[in-house]
Amino acid sequence: MRKLTDIFKEKQQTFSFELFPPKTEEGYQKLLSTIKQLSELKPDFISVTCGAGGGTRARTKDIVDHIQETYQITGVEHLTCIGNTKAEIKKSLDDTQARGIYNILALRGDPPPNSPAVKLGKDNFKYSYQLCKFIRATYADDFSIGVAGFPEGHVLCPDRELDADYLKIKMDAGADYVITQLFFNNKDYFDYVKRLRRRGIFARVIPGIIPITDYLGILRFCQKCGTSVPKEVQEVFAPIQTDPQAVSEAGIKFAIRQCRELLENGAPGLHFYTLNKASPVDIILKEVRK
């Protein structure tokens, strides 16, 4: 499979999806069906998350393997570093390389739920920039490395300028591109890109998009991750929040409008957080690719 950096050289805009490893075998079988449906949309790549503390790392690799081997679609493996030693990270990356996976999204990650107070020693990484630096130093250019970006600033770093400084550190440590956290106000994305450009960061900043299919669920999630819900969104969805069909239809319309505006104003593609479902991203992508 190809590295994303090579794909980026050929395509001004890419379209991609994100999946996560299910906790049950039934969920896994459903995911395989979802992957088949998503493959028919011919995405440029599909990324697969991992659990807190790398708890589902093996399953993450298996899913990326399946995507690449069955559908010849480039896969991206999410790799978190919190709670793992350098030796464990290298062992995991050696396995990744042996499987023919050449794309990593390097993340700090969250501590495991059962041991949130992870003790970090000299053999542990504390931040994602250290993971990026380690991958580059150990594997040179064997991997294409992506990192997470936060248009509204990371939830633990409310100062947006300082957050952009931290992103610069990750890029200087070897990252190739950025995929952003979800957002609903496109101005936040474009302002974020401007902040990065002022710091000499000219890598791709791919906007992360999540269609609204469950308004109350989105409110809870946004509160947790520090994403704001604009007044425009509240005015559309609050009156219909108890009507799933109405929410779904409004969510599709909102996402299509958001995506078109992003692409028309220079965004280098779209990365959809699918929640392991082919719909409604299939409808949205078909519309914005016209």
| Active-site hit among 10, 18, 26, 88 | 18
Q: How far is CA 232 from CA 213, 220, 243, 249, in A?
A: 16, 17, 18, 16
Task: Say how far residue 254 (Cα) sits from the centre of its chain.
Answer: 20
Which ranges constitute the DSSP H helices of 72-159?
Answer: 86-98, 128-139
Closest CA to 274 of 24, 103, 47: 47
- Torsion from C-alpha of 28, 74, 134, 177, nearest 10 degrees: -110
Could you give the angle at the alpha carbon of 287 between the alpha carbons of 284 and 290, nearest 5°? 145
Q: How many angstroms separate the CA atoms of 197 and 183, rounded?
A: 19
- DSSP per residue over 231-279, as a string? HHHHHHHGGGTT-HHHHHHHHHHHHHHHHHHHHHTT--EEEEE-TT--T
Closest CA to 140 of 5, 28, 8: 5
Partners of 208 in beta bridges: 182, 271
Active site residue 18: yes
Which positions are annotated as active-site residues? 18
